[in-house]
Structure 1
């Protein structure tokens, strides 16, 4: 019943948004080349779906995203567990992270091109850079917040390193780690599109730039829509994995569900 209500709300919200968009486009305030109607965008979208162009760009962007995101997740969680546990080491690493973290991945793009060349590698590196810091910092924070009672129980049962990290610390820090993973999705997906706009010859970001150069604003909006849809489904996928892991580990989630 809850899912049905959420679906109805989503349909109503999207219908209102499309209605407002249609009304503005029909008002004549903007030229059709500047703001195409929803029907025009749908026609352009169907055109790209029919010839396979859209799916090609979507799958290329998703492949780049998951390559960079998974690499950032694995390295960020592993290093976060280590740095969170060995606080003296983190005291030296933290200033470096705090200096590098605010730097936009796009600012590194000239060096990334020089180091990794043209192709998939620069986009993957940008995604990695955008996703790594939120995951690392959330993991470190999660380890620091682990209840000392868990550690005492582990000591009583004779659990030592490295089993302590992945049997006790990792499940206890899991909610904070997931917060970092969710934040990383947004930043990594945004910078993927930005990276593809700058130096790629394929992907959703390139599709938008190429459509703009061809004066096809309908295809530009179609690309934007699919960027939003793809980002939404990526977030849903991560939440599904989160729930599966929570059930495996018996972690109590928000609202009292497991």
Structure 2
């Protein structure tokens, strides 16, 4: 019943969005060349599904995203747990992170293209930069908030090294880690599209740029819709992962 309610709410929300979209066209008296109608975009979506264009670009984008995201979040979590346990080291590292973190990943694109050329690696590198810092910072913050009494109990039980990290620190810091994973996912997905617009010849970002160059704005909006839907589904996957980890460690989800 809960799942059906979510589907119903999603359908209502999308219907309202389509109605507002059509109303903007009517009120603004926009031509199809300036703002395609929902019907035109729906036809473009069907056309890309039928000819396979969507799945080709989507597969490439998801492959790049998964590679860059995992390359970022796994070391970020591990490093964040270590730095959270080492306040003095973090005091030295923190200023470096705070200087690099606000820099947009796209700002590094001239160097990234020079270093990695054209293809998959520029987009993966941009995703890595976008996802690394949010997960690192939230993991460090989560570890620093752990009640010291739990760590004392672990010391009394002579639990040390990786078992301490796995059995105590990671579960205690997990709510903060999940927040970082979600933030990193949204940021990385946004910059994936930006990366594909800069240094790629395939993917959803390239699909939008190519359609724009051909003045096919219905395909541009279709690409935007695909990006939004994929971002939504990826966020749902993070929720599933959160539930799985919560059950594994015996944590109750809120």
TM-score by length of 1: 0.96
What secondary structure, in the 3-state scheme, does the structure 1 residue paired with 2:161 have?
A: coil
Tell me which residue corresponds to 1:239: 239
Instruction: Say which is worse superposed, 163-172 or 107-116, in terms of deviation.
Output: 163-172
Tell me which residue corresponds to 2:139: 139
Tell me which residue corresponds to 1:50: 50
Equivalent residues of 1:26, 1:37 under 8 A apart = no
How many residues are paired up?
Answer: 254
C-alpha displacement at 1:11, in angstroms? 1.4
C-alpha displacement at 1:28, in angstroms? 6.5
CA distance in 1, matches of 2:157, 2:171: 17
Tell me which residue corresponds to 1:67: 67
What secondary structure, in the 3-state scheme, does the structure 2 residue paired with 1:32 have?
A: coil
CA distance in 2, matches of 1:208, 1:230: 15
Tell me which residue corresponds to 2:99: 99
Instruction: Say which is worse superposed, 185-194 or 157-166, in terms of deviation.
Output: 157-166
Tell me which residue corresponds to 2:18: 18
Tell me which residue corresponds to 2:89: 89
What secondary structure, in the 3-state scheme, does the structure 2 residue paired with 1:223 have?
A: helix
C-alpha displacement at 1:26, in angstroms? 4.2
TM-score by length of 2: 0.97
Following TM superposition, where does structure 1 have runs of at least 4 consecutive aligned residues deviating by more than 6 angstroms? none
C-alpha displacement at 1:156, in angstroms? 1.3
C-alpha displacement at 1:27, in angstroms? 5.0
The unaligned stretches of length 5 or more in structure 1 are none
CA distance in 1, matches of 2:149, 2:50: 59
C-alpha displacement at 1:87, in angstroms? 1.2
CA distance in 2, matches of 1:214, 1:56: 19
Counterparts of residues 1-258 of structure 1 (less than 5 Å): 1-27=1-27, 29-254=29-254
C-alpha displacement at 1:89, in angstroms? 1.0
Change (3 A) 1:155 1:32: same
C-alpha displacement at 1:24, in angstroms? 3.0
What secondary structure, in the 3-state scheme, does the structure 2 residue paired with 1:103 have?
A: coil
What secondary structure, in the 3-state scheme, does the structure 2 residue paired with 1:162 have?
A: helix
CA distance in 2, matches of 1:233, 1:5: 17
C-alpha displacement at 1:6, in angstroms? 2.6
C-alpha displacement at 1:198, in angstroms? 1.3
C-alpha displacement at 1:23, in angstroms? 2.9
Change (3 A) 1:28 1:153: closer
C-alpha displacement at 1:4, in angstroms? 2.5
C-alpha displacement at 1:148, in angstroms? 1.1
CA distance in 2, matches of 1:93, 1:41: 48
Change (3 A) 1:150 1:48: same
